Amino acid sequence: MSSMNQTIGKSGQRGVVLVSALILLVIITLLSMSAMRVSITELRMAGNQETAVTSFQASQALSDAIIDAAESTPVIGDPGYTICTGAGAICDRENWRLPNGMYTDQLNTGVMNGVIVRLAPALRPPPRGIGSSADKFSAAAFSITSTFDMADQGLGRDTVVEGVLILVPTN
């Protein structure tokens, strides 16, 4: 009788180990798949952030180059006088180029574009605290909009708008 009890006890436990192992394997597989999805999502987010930073830096670089070139902000024309780096219907002066051929390829292909607009009033008092004699100068204000656009290639799009004051000596 004793050998019969041992046989029944062993046969009742044979499938429990297999079922337990399969459940554990399914749980580990689901955790692994979840971790992979999270990793892929984070990788895409990092790529998008890199694209956003790169496109902003390109727009800012064009804006800085325009500000550095004194001929890009001539104190001529009335408020609204517009200078563009590319052809445009709203521009008084088109196809203006940066000195030394800077960004020529990007400007020619339309990847980068800059628009300089003279703001109203034509001349205004300079801001206080600039370390100059305020009664000897007035200021001309400009808005500089620089755009970088390579979104069609997955490299981002960004626009930077900055204001610039040019001091103009008075008589």
pLDDT in tens, 89-121: 688 888 888 888 889 899 888 899 999 999 999
Q: What backbone torsions phi and psi does residue 143 show, to the nearest 5 degrees?
A: -110, 130
Q: What's the number of domains the chain is made of?
A: 1
The structure's pTM equals: 0.74
pLDDT in tens, 13-64: 667 888 999 999 999 999 999 999 999 999 999 999 999 999 999 999 999 9
Give residues with Cβ within 8 angstroms of 14, minimum separation 6.
none
- Residue 6 domain boundaries: 2-169
**Whether the bond into 79 is cis, omega within 30 of 0:** no
Distance, CA of 138 to CA of 165 (rounded, Å): 10
